[in-house]
């Protein structure tokens, strides 16, 4: 019987990864995931079937709502919030010492109260709109209970950070007159605060709830079905065939696989533990140091939040807040996401060159052609989603049809055929996976409602304009700091929404002043409304990219800590190394501000010019970051390369936008000359000292021998 080829994914000692390594890493990944979700109860019997029934109803209800017939707004939002809140009380214990096998009496009471207060909002929806501003005593009681329930749900699932943030905003609403003059307001009564935050549609049942039930949870359901169908194997097989044999192959596989998985997952942490369970042991065995292997995976995983078609929940929130169709945002996001992954790939390549790390030499590795021939149908669910959205169908409808295609696709696999049991498991897993982000709905509503009530958003914008002195780079830097600080305590999606509500007005006005203070709209090929739309979208893109930085920037960097746990490396060292590989997360927002063409808002020639120059600039930026080209750069070479990178990327503008009439091609040619000079200098150095191209460890060994 002929030996079956190894596709490079299944553990094989010849690849440096043993079954024991994989099992250990997968176990660590599961433990980390449970820890991040505060470990839900493992319930049995009646309680299992009750929560399972609620889960199945949730999934089927929203599939029906998106794919067959939409329901009224109050039921569209309220059903998910009611089921989520009730399931959290039943599944997540109040304290670490609480029983883990079933909910307690107090948990059951809170679950019933949650259903009551949300049900009251749904039943009284129309009446509440009529008596808005003149609420009765029952409205006040329900609002008070609803606020308490929202905070407790968040605390149980996500801990105290976001819960205390929401509480702080409530206190700010009440104690406004006693605040510093810069953020003071007249203050509001407790009744006015809770009624506004809970009953109005800009609070608990506002934009976050609407986006979740319209888009996000449907894509989470899709992800659970995609995983059950076995299609995930294709997204590991293909990167292995594409990059496994190249320099630093395992790390490049990690980057590509994270791009595929991240584009359909909603969390950088989930992406890290999913693909990292396979890629991190592979990188370590190939020769990457543990903290480097643990850092590359989260750095790549963060990029999945920028890559369409899903972009986590941020892209859908952006569409809702800007009024721009999601498919438009998806088109605008593609190229910046490619730049991010290109930067990580190039950095990984230079890291591998520095240490002499080669690819996987496996003669039985399947080729790209063989994988596409045997597994091409596995990509159909993702293709269906993209195609339907490009055909102007709603993202929710596209997700429903793509979810159905996962079941069909599974029937063509050998061992992943989805029958009633697998479909049931996917339903339950999908519903459970929505609870973590669903737990943020109430508190995010509290925060957004408080911002609307107090007007702090406009004051925050005034503060940014004042502190920055009208200097655009400084304003962007201040927003980056604010996003990082906020991201230390709240999930990245919540961080994006809060900072966007606070800072977009300031950023939009500064972009408008910077770009359109002079007569440049015609040079960009834009009309006045198009120019205004670009400043709004660019502002949101800047803030959205910055909102992801807390995943890979110490001291919090949760995705990096997940990679550290899988790699068994020092968390602090892994975090800073991940920050190094993910530096494009801080550069691209500046490009958004200075390059209209990067977000497709320029003439076709200018867009092409921007794309080509940004690709070259990304490669050179990666080279400068790693301090390596043909060999390690010395101070002179690094300085020349850094100047060339700045010339390429800044000002990355169209002629005339800053009052300069220097042609773009002249700027680009000047920058290219700098890198030709670096190439010549390094070639001459290597001729004089051929050991410069040897791996770092070998050069250090030769240096010690020479010294001895």
Ranges of each domain in the chain = 41-208, 214-358+366-390+402-410, 603-708
Phi-psi region of 638 (alpha: psi -120 to 50; beta: other; left: phi over 0): alpha
Output the 3-class SS for 560-602.
Answer: HHHHHHHHCCCHHHHHHHHHHHCCHHHHHHHHHHHCHHHHCCC
Tokens representing 575? 């975090």
* CA 326 – CA 111 distance, rounded (Å): 35
Q: What stretch of H or E contains 124?
A: none
* CA 328 – CA 174 distance, rounded (Å): 40
* CA 82 – CA 156 distance, rounded (Å): 16
* CA 147 – CA 204 distance, rounded (Å): 8
19 pLDDT band, cuts 50/70/90, is very low
Give the closest residue to 563 by CA, choosing from 369, 275, 260. 275
Q: If you ran DSSP here, which 8-state letter would residue 2 be given?
A: P
Q: Which residues of 159-176 are buried (b: 16+ CB within 10 A; e: fewer)?
A: eeebbebbbebbebbeeb
Q: Which residues of 340-373 are buried (b: 16+ CB within 10 A; e: fewer)?
A: bbbbbbbbbbbbbbbbbbebbebeebbeeeebbe
Query: Is residue 454 classed exposed, middle or buried when 0-12, 13-18 and 19+ CB atoms within 10 A define those classes?
Result: buried
Residue 169, pLDDT > 50, answer yes
Beta bridge mates, 632: 628
Q: If you ran DSSP here, which 8-state letter would residue 691 be given?
A: G
| Half-sphere exposure at residue 270, Cβ-oriented, CA atoms within 13 angstroms | 21
* CA 336 – CA 314 distance, rounded (Å): 15
622-673: per-residue pLDDT in tens? 999 999 999 999 999 999 999 999 888 875 444 444 444 455 677 778 888 9
Whether 248 and 277 have beta carbons less than 8 Å apart is answered as no
- What is the average pLDDT across 206-233? 87
Going by C-beta distance under 8 Å and a sequence separation of 6 or more, which residues neighbour residue 708?
A: none
**417 alpha-carbon distance from chain centroid:** 30
Number of DSSP helices (H) and strands (E) in the chain, helices first: 34, 0
Lowest mean pLDDT across 14-23, 127-136, 647-656: 14-23
Q: How far is CA 317 from CA 83, 406, 699, in A?
A: 22, 26, 51
541 pLDDT band, cuts 50/70/90, is very high
Number of Cβ within 10 Å of residue 540's Cβ equals: 26
286 pLDDT band, cuts 50/70/90, is confident
* CA 174 – CA 322 distance, rounded (Å): 30
Phi-psi region of 665 (alpha: psi -120 to 50; beta: other; left: phi over 0): alpha
Residue 270, pLDDT > 70, answer yes
CA dihedral 186, 187, 188, 193 (to 10 degrees): 130
Pairwise pLDDT comparison (453 vs 413), residue with the higher score: 453
Q: Where are the alpha helices (DSSP H) in 361-419?
A: 368-375, 380-390, 395-410
Whether 491 and 270 have beta carbons less than 8 Å apart is answered as no
> Is the torsion defined by CA of 662, 666, 672, 678 positive or negative?
negative
* Proportion of the chain above pLDDT 90, given as a percent: 39
**689 alpha-carbon distance from chain centroid:** 44
* CA 47 – CA 52 distance, rounded (Å): 8
Residue 291, pLDDT > 70, answer yes
Give the closest residue to 25 by CA, choosing from 273, 249, 312, 338. 273
Tokens representing 51? 């929560």
Number of Cβ within 10 Å of residue 95's Cβ equals: 7
| Half-sphere exposure at residue 489, Cβ-oriented, CA atoms within 13 angstroms | 15
* CA 177 – CA 542 distance, rounded (Å): 33
Number of Cβ within 10 Å of residue 501's Cβ equals: 20
470-527: per-residue pLDDT in tens? 788 899 999 988 888 777 767 778 888 888 888 888 888 888 777 765 444 444 445 5
> Is the torsion defined by CA of 45, 48, 54, 58 positive or negative?
negative
Give the closest residue to 314 by CA, choosing from 211, 409, 235, 413. 211
Tokens representing 231? 């299609």
- What is the average pLDDT across 429-444? 91
* CA 27 – CA 35 distance, rounded (Å): 12
- What is the average pLDDT across 134-146? 94
Going by C-beta distance under 8 Å and a sequence separation of 6 or more, which residues neighbour residue 303?
A: 255, 258, 259, 262, 337, 340, 341, 344
Number of Cβ within 10 Å of residue 69's Cβ equals: 7
Look at residue 26 in the predicted model and tell me its pLDDT. Answer: 57
369-379: per-residue pLDDT in tens? 888 888 888 88
Whether 340 and 585 have beta carbons less than 8 Å apart is answered as yes
Residue 594, pLDDT > 80, answer yes
24-56: per-residue pLDDT in tens? 665 665 555 555 555 678 888 999 999 999 999
Tokens representing 544? 């959205």
Output the 3-class SS for 92-107.
Answer: CCCCCCCCCCCCCHHH
268 pLDDT band, cuts 50/70/90, is confident
Q: How far is CA 682 from CA 143, 353, 648, 675, in A?
A: 69, 15, 21, 10
Output the 3-class SS for 330-383.
Answer: HHHHHHHHHHHHHHHHHHHHHHHHHHCCCCCCCCCCCCHHHHHHHHHHHHHHHH
Match 């939409």 to its residue by tokens.
70
Rounded to a whole number of angstroms, the distance between the first and last alpha carbons of the chain is 57
């Amino acid at each position: 019987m002929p030996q079956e080829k190894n596709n490079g994914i299944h553990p094989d000692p010849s690849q440096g990864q043993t079954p024991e390594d994989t099992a250990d890493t997968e176990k660590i990944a599961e433990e980390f995931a449970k820890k991040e979700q505060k470990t839900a109860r493992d319930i049995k019997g009646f309680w299992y079937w009750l929560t399972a029934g609620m889960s199945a109803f949730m999934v089927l209800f929203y599939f029906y709502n998106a794919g067959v017939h939409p329901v009224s707004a109050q039921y569209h939002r309220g059903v998910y919030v009611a089921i989520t809140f009730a399931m959290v009380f039943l599944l997540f214990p109040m304290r670490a010492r609480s029983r883990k096998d079933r909910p307690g009496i107090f948990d059951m009471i809170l679950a019933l109260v949650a259903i009551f207060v949300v049900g009251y909002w749904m039943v009284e929806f129309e009446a509440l709109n009529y008596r808005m501003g003149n609420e009765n005593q029952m409205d006040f009681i329900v609002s008070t209970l609803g606020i308490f329930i929202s905070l407790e749900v968040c605390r149980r699932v996500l801990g105290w950070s976001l819960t205390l943030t929401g509480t702080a905003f409530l206190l700010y609403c009440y104690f406004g007159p006693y605040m510093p003059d810069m953020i003071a307001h007249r203050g509001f009564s407790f009744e006015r605060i809770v009624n506004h935050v809970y009953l109005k549609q800009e609070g608990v049942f506002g934009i976050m709830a609407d986006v979740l039930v319209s888009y996000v949870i449907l894509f989470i359901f899709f992800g659970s079905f995609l995983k059950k169908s076995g299609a995930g194997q294709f997204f590991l097989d293909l990167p292995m065939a594409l990059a496994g044999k190249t320099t630093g192959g395992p790390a490049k596989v990690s980057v590509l696989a994270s791009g595929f998985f991240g584009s359909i997952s909603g969390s950088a942490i989930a992406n890290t533990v999913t693909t990292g369970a396979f890629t991190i042991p592979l990188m370590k065995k190939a020769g990457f140091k543990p903290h480097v292997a643990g850092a590359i995976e989260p750095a790549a995983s963060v990029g999945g939040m920028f890559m369409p078609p899903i972009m986590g929940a941020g892209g859908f929130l952006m569409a809702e807040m800007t009024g721009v169709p999601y498919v438009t945002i998806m088109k605008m996001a593609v190229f910046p996401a490619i730049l991010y992954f290109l930067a990580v790939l190039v950095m990984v390549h230079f890291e591998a060159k520095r240490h002499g790390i080669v690819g996987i030499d496996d003669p039985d590795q399947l080729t790209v052609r063989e994988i596409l021939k045997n597994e091409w149908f596995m990509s159909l669910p993702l293709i269906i989603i993209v195609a339907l959205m490009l055909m102007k169908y709603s993202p929710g409808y596209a997700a429903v049809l793509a979810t159905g295609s996962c079941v069909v696709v599974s029937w063509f696999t050998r061992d992943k055929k989805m029958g009633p049991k697998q479909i049931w498991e996917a339903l339950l897993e999908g519903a459970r996976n929505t609870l973590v982000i669903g737990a943020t709905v109430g508190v995010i509503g509290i925060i957004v409602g408080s911002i609307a009530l107090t007007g702090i958003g406009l004051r925050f914008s005034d503060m940014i304009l004042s502190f920055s002195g009208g200097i655009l780079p400084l304003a962007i830097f201040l927003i980056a700091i604010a996003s990082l600080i906020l991201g230390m305590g709240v999930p990245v999606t919540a961080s994006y929404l809060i900072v966007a509500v606070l800072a977009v007005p300031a950023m939009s006005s500064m972009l408008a002043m910077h770009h359109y203070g002079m007569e440049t709209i015609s040079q960009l090929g834009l009309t006045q409304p198009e120019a205004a739309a670009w400043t709004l979208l660019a502002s949101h893109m800047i803030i959205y990219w910055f909102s992801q930085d807390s995943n890979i920037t110490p001291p919090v960097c949760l995705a990096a800590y997940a990679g550290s746990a899988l790699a068994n490396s020092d968390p602090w060292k892994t975090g800073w190394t991940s920050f190094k590989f993910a530096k494009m997360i801080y550069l691209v927002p500046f490009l958004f501000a200075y390059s209209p063409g990067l977000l497709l808002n320029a003439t076709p020639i200018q867009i092409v010019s921007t794309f080509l120059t940004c690709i070259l600039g990304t490669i050179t930026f990666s080279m400068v970051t790693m301090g390596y080209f043909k060999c390690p750069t010395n101070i002179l070479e690094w300085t020349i390369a850094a100047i060339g990178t700045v010339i390429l990327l800044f000002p990355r503008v169209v002629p005339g936008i800053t009052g300069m009439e220097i042609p773009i091609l002249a700027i680009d040619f000047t920058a290219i000359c700098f890198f030709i000079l670096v190439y010549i200098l390094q070639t001459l150095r290597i001729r004089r000292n051929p050991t410069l191209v040897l791996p770092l460890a070998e050069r250090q060994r030769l240096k010690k021998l020479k010294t001895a």
